[in-house]
Amino acid sequence: MIIFLHYFYLIKILIITLSLRLLSIFASFNISNHPLLLHTFVRIFYIFSFNLYKKYTNICVIIAWKYLKGVMLTNNQQIYQGSSDYIVSPELMNSVNIAIALKKPLLIKGEPGTGKTMLAESIAKSMDKELVIWNVKSTTKAQEGLYTYDTVQRLYDSQFGENDVASIDQYIKLGKLGEAFNAEKQVVLLIDEIDKADLEFPNDLLWELDQMSFYIPETKKTISAKNRPIVIITSNAEKELPDAFLRRCIFHYIDFPDPEDMERIVKVHHPDTEQKLINQAMDAFYMVRNIRNIQKKPSTSELIDWVQALIVGGISPDTLKKEIPFLGVLLKKNEDLDTILKELDRNRQSKTRTFGRR
């Protein structure tokens, strides 16, 4: 069964490669003048790459970017190349650029603290664009991102104010999505932690994200995007998102950084820190993450905060070999603190017994 599935996914990749090879052939005939043709072949790529294993998806992203980069350059589109304060993998960079080229939202998933929100900040900074942030909460409704109609203020003005209440426009306030649509220049729109809202929230945005417009019945006006925003959507995977919504997004999962990438990330935030301290801190950090029964493993952001605490506290690298100070910066649950303390005590006793035998 497993072998069959692998062959199934490999066949999909072959189809994707063939469609993109055809795309490259058409590119030689100036495909930028035929957006429908471009969309058709890229759609083939997306349909077959949707929900593939992660390793296959990365291959598809690399293949797609190989051909779409030329199209972006032909159309004088900006290309995201990372920023000095954000370490971005080649796969993630390619996913961002593919989303920009296809004019689709980029859905980013990953563990909390892996830099999903900071990615949008990095894109805005590197491409010199304004960042519009829509922080989604459990009570957030899709309508709030479009506009709100202040009926209370209008009622108050009709009774006590001097404003002309017949003009409803003055009581319409655009939400974050409306602001992004109405901006004079292209902006980066971050819809942060979309999985916090109820299940209908993503579905309620399908039309607006597809058409880049929405209708205000109170004023009988349609707000259309003056410049299509670069849409970044983050999710901590607390809830499954609807398939209809996922099909309209480019997807990328941010893996937890390996030690080499993590060291680069730490050095970006703490460039003047002693190398020995960084090494010891990372050894302790990954040791804590690898302990079984930890309910909430420390994330990248917590490591960065912990290194800062070590620096401020004047903790030496040798101290980290014996103990792990400021555990409350790394761990946020009492059960995890108890688990770590028991594990450290067990290791200490084991070393003591070993030394006693010698």
Do 109 and 250 belong together in one domain? yes
pLDDT digit string, tens, across residues 228-240? 999 999 998 778 8
272 and 231 within one domain: no
Instruction: Note the pLDDT tens digit of each residue in 137-186.
Output: 999 999 999 999 988 888 887 887 777 777 888 888 999 999 999 999 99
Query: How much is the average pLDDT of 324-344?
Result: 87
Asked if residue 50 belongs to a domain, the reply is: yes
> Is 230 part of any domain?
yes
**5 within domain boundaries:** yes
Q: How many other C-beta atoms are found inside a 10 Å radius of the C-beta of residue 35?
A: 12
Question: Residue 212 is inside which H or E element, if any?
Answer: none
Model confidence at 56, pLDDT cuts 50, 70, 90, reads very low
pLDDT at 41: 52
Selection from 59, 80, 60 nearest residue 69 by Cα: 80
Q: How far is CA 42 from the centre of its chain?
A: 22
Query: Rounded mean pLDDT of the chain?
Result: 80
204 with 323, same domain? no
Once rounded to an integer, what is the mean pLDDT over residues 112-116?
85
Are 265 and 233 in a shared domain?
A: no
- pLDDT at residue 287 above 80? yes
Q: Identify which of 25-29, 55-59, 233-237 has the greatest average pLDDT.
A: 233-237
Residue 91, in any domain of the structure: no
**pLDDT score of 356:** 46
At 301, which amino acid appears?
S
Please report the pLDDT score of residue 38 as a whole number: 52
Q: Which residues contact 213 (CB under 8 A, 6 or more apart)?
A: 181, 222, 223, 224, 225
Count of domains forming the chain: 3
CATH number of residue 140's parent domain: 3.40.50.300
Best CA proximity match to 101, nearest among 138, 55, 142, 64: 64
Residue of 177, 195, 191, 202 whose CA lies nearest to 138: 195
Task: Give the residue carrying structure tokens 């707000």.
Answer: 223
Q: What are phi and psi of 115, to 5 degrees?
A: 95, 25
Q: Is residue 135 part of a domain?
A: yes
Identify the pLDDT of residue 64.
55
Nearest to 185 by CA among 146, 147, 228, 145: 228
Domain hosting 319: range is 259-344
**Is pLDDT at 7 greater than 70 in this prediction?**
no
pTM of the model: 0.76
Report the range of poorest mean pLDDT among 166-180, 279-293, 302-316, 335-349.
335-349
**pLDDT exceeds cutoff 80 at 284:** yes
Last residue within a domain, chosen from 61, 77, 93: 77
- Has residue 39 got a pLDDT over 70? no
- Co-location of 231 and 340 in the same domain: no
Asked whether 29 and 41 are in contact (CB, 8 A), the reply is: no
342 vs 42, 157, 288, 338, CA distance in Å? 54, 65, 12, 6
| Least confident window among 12-16, 27-31, 249-253 | 27-31
Give start and end residues of each alpha helix (H) in the chain: 2-27, 35-49, 54-74, 90-102, 116-126, 142-146, 151-160, 176-182, 200-203, 206-211, 243-246, 259-269, 275-290, 300-312, 317-322, 327-330, 334-357
pLDDT at 115 (0 to 100): 87
Domain check: are 122 and 249 in the same one?
Answer: yes
Task: Examine the domain organization and report whether 114 and 248 are in the same domain.
Answer: yes
CB atoms within 10 A of CB 183: 17
226 and 276 within one domain: no
Is 207 inside any structural domain? yes
- The answer to whether residue 166 is domain-embedded is yes
pLDDT score, position 30: 46
- Pairing of the two strands 106-110 and 230-235: parallel
Q: What is the pLDDT of residue 54?
A: 44
Percent of the chain at pLDDT exceeding 90: 34
